[in-house]
Amino acid sequence: MVYGAKDLFEAIMMLATPKEAERFFADLCTPQEIKAMKERWKVCQLLDCGNFSYREISNITGASTTTVARVSRFLNNEPHRGYRLLTEKIKKENKNV
């Protein structure tokens, strides 16, 4: 793991509300970095629902088709499985509501 990453991730885990997360990330990241993360997450959600082509997702989100393809690769093929972990948790939580 990258030096100091564990401390950062543990700090993120302490955030209790979306508002707390918004405040922390506003301090931690530039507006452009936050925009990029929001864009990638929206791309991930649209890819996961399976109803849109890469070009449609690009048009909806403003992300390049290269970004859409990269998010798709990480969602479906890369070993980290971070996107998949959260999409599955969200689906499970939504079933329980």
Looking at residue 96, its pLDDT comes to 81
Q: By percentage, how much of the chain surpasses pLDDT 70?
A: 97
CATH superfamily of 5-95: TrpR-like (1.10.1270.10)
Which region holds residue 17: left if phi is over 0, alpha if psi is between -120 and 50, else beta?
beta
Instruction: Work out the average pLDDT over 16-21.
Output: 98
Q: By percentage, how much of the chain surpasses pLDDT 90?
A: 92
The answer, yes or no, to whether residue 34 has pLDDT greater than 90, is yes
pLDDT in tens, 52-69: 999 999 999 999 999 999
